[in-house]
């Protein structure tokens, strides 16, 4: 039985101050904060989710913001760059917007595409690329009109300590197709319209260190619960050690570390982010899973207040 993921479900990273995190991803990038919850494994820390209006798989970046967190070091065993897709013809708008926020942009070409590469306020590496693929955004915030807004992930650049083995897991386990090589990168493609192109530098990258401004894990899509069970056995039968299925409220998760050091997750598309909030109210209230509701007052008291707001530089 061979399975094929449609692409990235979400990417999860570490951050420091939660308000600065909201200001960058909602305020500068114009994404919607679709969920404000806590780290289910450490309820004194937020878990913030940013995506398109609906919080569709393939658009969601999530953060654990630890106030005062030490910076990490980007390196092998991590996602190196998180790639976002913008509509064709909008690069100039984004370049100008990033410039206005004092963010330096490096322009790079890869596989015939033009990338705007930059860092968030804590050093997390991001890039924008124009592509026609992927449904247009319907969300407009902080001076980013929907027709120029980020549509979701284009993919990612994976920094591996063992690229040959990471290539193996992408092809043989996740079912991606190797489609090209360019300047030391191998490109893999899968079926989704977003989060479907993964670039892997084929020279080993020295190991990084976790901390603010680094990615913790990358999650790949499973279309339903039945397929998710199959994914767990596919991962296990290839010699990786998957965790049991874990209920993450908005999706079910299985994690395993691939041999290049990157923590992979397989996450289900269902039930999605409207399971506990109406679509128009996503992200407004602190959402807790049932098992933490009894401690709501204590949890809320331990978290710094955050607001989604339009940044002053607009
Ligand atoms: Zn995850």
Residue 51 CA to residue 114 CA, distance in Å, equals 23
Question: In the structure encoding, which two tokens stand for residue 279, read together?
Answer: 């679509």
Residue 247 lies in a domain: yes
Compute, in angstroms, the gap from residue 248 CA to the centroid of ligand 1. Answer: 8
Compute, in angstroms, the gap from residue 266 CA to the centroid of ligand 1. Answer: 8
Q: Which residues contact 291 (CB under 8 A, 6 or more apart)?
A: none
Compute, in angstroms, the gap from residue 109 CA to the centroid of ligand 1. Answer: 30
Compute, in angstroms, the gap from residue 9 CA to the centroid of ligand 1. Answer: 8
Q: Is the dihedral of CA 276, 280, 282, 284 positive or negative?
A: negative
Q: Are 169 and 265 in contact (CB under 8 A)?
A: no
Residue 234 vs residues 99, 217, 239, 246, 254: alpha-carbon distances, Å: 45, 19, 9, 17, 12
* pLDDT at position 314: 59
**Residue 305, Cβ density class (10 Å: 0-12 exposed, 13-18 middle, ≥19 buried):** exposed
* pLDDT at position 1: 54
* pLDDT at position 148: 98
Report the phi/psi class of residue 142: left, alpha or beta, with left for phi > 0 and alpha for psi in -120 to 50.
left
Compute, in angstroms, the gap from residue 244 CA to the centroid of ligand 1. Answer: 14
Compute, in angstroms, the gap from residue 92 CA to the centroid of ligand 1. Answer: 32
Compute, in angstroms, the gap from residue 311 CA to the centroid of ligand 1. Answer: 28
Compute, in angstroms, the gap from residue 312 CA to the centroid of ligand 1. Answer: 32
Q: Are 308 and 26 in contact (CB under 8 A)?
A: yes
Compute, in angstroms, the gap from residue 296 CA to the centroid of ligand 1. Answer: 23
Residue 135 lies in a domain: yes
Residue 2 lies in a domain: no
Residue 310 lies in a domain: no
Q: Specify the number of domains making up the chain.
A: 1
Residue 271 lies in a domain: yes
Compute, in angstroms, the gap from residue 106 CA to the centroid of ligand 1. Answer: 29
Question: In the structure encoding, which two tokens stand for residue 99, read together?
Answer: 């410039």
Compute, in angstroms, the gap from residue 11 CA to the centroid of ligand 1. Answer: 7
Compute, in angstroms, the gap from residue 21 CA to the centroid of ligand 1. Answer: 18
The enclosing domain of 193 has a CATH number of 3.10.180.10
Residue 298 lies in a domain: yes
- 3-state helix, strand, coil split of the chain in percent (to 5) is 20, 40, 40
Compute, in angstroms, the gap from residue 96 CA to the centroid of ligand 1. Answer: 32
Instruction: State the residue range of the domain holding 103.
Output: 8-302
* pLDDT at position 156: 98
Instruction: Tell me, yes or no, if the pTM score tops 0.85.
Output: yes
Compute, in angstroms, the gap from residue 63 CA to the centroid of ligand 1. Answer: 10
Compute, in angstroms, the gap from residue 56 CA to the centroid of ligand 1. Answer: 14
Residue 210 lies in a domain: yes
Compute, in angstroms, the gap from residue 180 CA to the centroid of ligand 1. Answer: 28
Nearest to 197 by CA among 186, 188, 209: 188
Compute, in angstroms, the gap from residue 219 CA to the centroid of ligand 1. Answer: 6
* pLDDT at position 312: 82
Residue 309 CA to residue 314 CA, distance in Å, equals 11
Residue 171 CA to residue 165 CA, distance in Å, equals 10
Q: What is the pLDDT along the chain (314 residues), one digit of tens a residue?
A: 589 999 999 999 999 999 999 999 999 999 999 999 999 989 999 999 999 999 999 999 999 999 999 999 999 999 999 999 999 999 999 999 999 999 999 999 999 999 999 999 999 999 999 999 999 999 999 999 999 999 999 999 999 999 999 999 999 999 999 999 999 999 999 999 999 999 999 999 999 999 999 999 999 999 999 999 999 999 999 999 999 999 999 999 999 999 999 999 999 999 999 999 999 999 999 999 999 999 999 999 999 999 999 988 65
């Amino acid at each position: 039985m061979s399975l094929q993921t449609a692409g990235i479900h979400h990417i999860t990273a570490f951050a420091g101050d939660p308000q600065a995190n909201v200001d960058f991803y909602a305020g500068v990038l114009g994404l919607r904060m679709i969920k404000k919850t806590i780290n289910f494994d450490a309820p004194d820390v937020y878990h913030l989710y940013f995506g398109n209006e609906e919080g569709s798989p393939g658009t969601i970046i999530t953060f654990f913001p630890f106030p005062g967190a030490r910076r990490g070091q980007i390196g092998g065993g991590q996602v190196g760059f998180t790639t976002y897709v913008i509509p064709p013809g909008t690069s100039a708008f984004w370049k100008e917007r990033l410039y206005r926020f004092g963010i330096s942009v490096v322009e790079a070409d890869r596989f015939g595409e033009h990338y705007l590469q930059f860092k968030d306020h804590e050093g997390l590496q991001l890039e924008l690329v124009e592509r026609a693929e992927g449904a247009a955004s319907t969300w407009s915030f902080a001076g980013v009109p929907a027709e120029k807004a980020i549509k979701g992930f284009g993919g990612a650049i994976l920094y591996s300590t063992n690229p040959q083995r990471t290539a193996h897991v992408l092809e043989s386990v996740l079912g991606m197709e190797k489609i090209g090589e360019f300047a030391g990168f191998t490109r893999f493609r899968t079926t989704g319209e977003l989060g479907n192109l993964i670039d892997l530098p084929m020279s080993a990258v020295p190991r990084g260190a976790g901390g603010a401004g680094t990615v913790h894990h990358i999650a790949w899509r499973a279309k339903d619960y039945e397929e998710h069970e199959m994914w767990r056995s596919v991962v296990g039968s290839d010699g990786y050690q998957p965790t049991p299925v874990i209920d993450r409220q908005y999706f079910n998760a299985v994690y395993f570390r691939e041999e290049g050091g990157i923590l992979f997750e397989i996450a289900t598309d269902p039930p999605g982010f409207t399971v506990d909030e109406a679509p128009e109210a996503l992200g407004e209230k602190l959402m807790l899973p049932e098992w933490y509701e009894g401690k709501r007052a204590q949890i809320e008291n331990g978290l710094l207040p955050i607001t989604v707001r339009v940044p002053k530089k607009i």
